[in-house]
Structure 1
C-alpha cells in the first residue's frame, strides 16, 4: 500500500529552458525592468532595444525617486516605449519580467492606483504603432536587469 501511495504522489520535476528570443523580422524588441532595493526604498529602471537580428541598439538606466518595484516597472515601460516611438520604431515587442504589468496592460487585472498615470500614458503611446506586451522570465531579461541594478547604485536623480 505504501509503495502504491508513493508512486501516485511522487512530485515531478519540470524544467524550462529560458532564453532571449529575437523579435519578428522588421520588428524591435524593448526589454524593460524596474528594481527596488526595499519598499519604499531607492528604485531604478532600465531598458534596452534590439533589432530583428538581435543586434543591440540602445540601452538606458535611470535612478528614480524612492518607491517600489511596481512603480519602477511601470515607469520604465513608458520610457522604453517613448524611446521607440521617438526613434520611429513602430513595430515593437515590449518584454517585462513583471507578470503584474503584463496583466494590467492587457486588461486582465485592474490598474493599481499608484501606477494609473503610467498605464494611461503607455496606452496613449501604444496607439502610435503596433505594440505588443509580453512577459519574459527573469532569466530571459538578464541584460536589462543588469542595467536596472546599475542605475540603483551609479545614476543620480
Structure 2
C-alpha cells in the first residue's frame, strides 16, 4: 500500500491519499509515496516543506546519511531532482506520531481504488479523531507490558 498525508502549519489536513499497490517492500512503498507528495506541494505553490516519515531508512537515505539501495536508485534520483525545486527538510517521526498514515494504510489494504481526501470533513470519523488528538497535543503512548516468565513465577 502507498499512503501519505499533508497538513498546514496549523495542523489542518490539506491532502491525504491511500492506494493499494500490491505486495512490495516497505522501502519500495515509501519510495512511491514520497515522490507523489513533492510534486503535489510544488503544484500547490508550497515551497517550504517538512517531510516526515516513520521510515528511518528513507529519512537517512534522503538526507544522504546512508547509501541508496540499488532497488530504488532510479526512483531516488528522480525524487532528489524534484526536491531541488523546493525547500524540503526531511525528518524521522515515530510511528505513534504518524497514526493518520497507519489509518490510511489500513484503508488502502481494503480498497481497490485510490482514496484521496482534500479536507478534514471528507475523512471518516476515525481519521478525524486522529487529527483532533494530534491538534489537541494528546500524546499517543506505546506501552509494553512485561510478562512474567513461567519459570520465574514458579520460583516465587
Q: Same fold (TM over 0.5)?
A: yes
Per the alignment, residue 137 of structure 2 pairs with none
Any residues of structure 2 matched to 1:25-40 within 5 Å, and which? Answer: none
Residue 110 of structure 2 aligns to a residue whose secondary structure is helix
Q: CA RMSD in A?
A: 1.3
Which of the two has greater helix per residue?
Answer: 2
The runs of at least 4 consecutive aligned structure 1 residues that moved more than 3 Å come to none
SS state at 2:102 partner: helix
Asked if 1:148 corresponds to 2:119, the answer is: no
1:74 and 1:119 in contact (8 A); partners too: yes
Corresponding position of 1:134: 91
Deviation at 1:115, TM superposition (A): 1.1
What is aligned with 1:113?
A: 70
Gaps in structure 2 of 5+ consecutive residues:
115-156
Q: CA deviation at 1:149?
A: 2.2
Range that drifts further, 146-155 or 97-106: 146-155
Aligned residue pairs, count:
114
1:45–1:149 Cα contact (<8 Å) kept: no
Residues 51 and 88, structure 2, Cα contact 8 Å, conserved in 1? yes
Q: CA deviation at 1:96?
A: 0.3
* Higher share in strand: 1
Q: What's 1:103 paired with?
A: 60
Unpaired segments of 5 or more residues in structure 1? 1-43
Work out which of the residue numbers 28, 42, 45 in structure 2 matches 1:88. Answer: 45
Q: Are 1:46 and 1:148, in contact at CA under 8 Å, matched by a contact in 2?
A: yes
1:55 aligned residue: 12
Compute the TM-score of the two structures, normalised by the length of structure 1. Answer: 0.68
Cα distance in 2 for residues equivalent to 1:117 and 1:86: 23
**In 2, distance between residues paired with 1:65 and 1:116?**
21
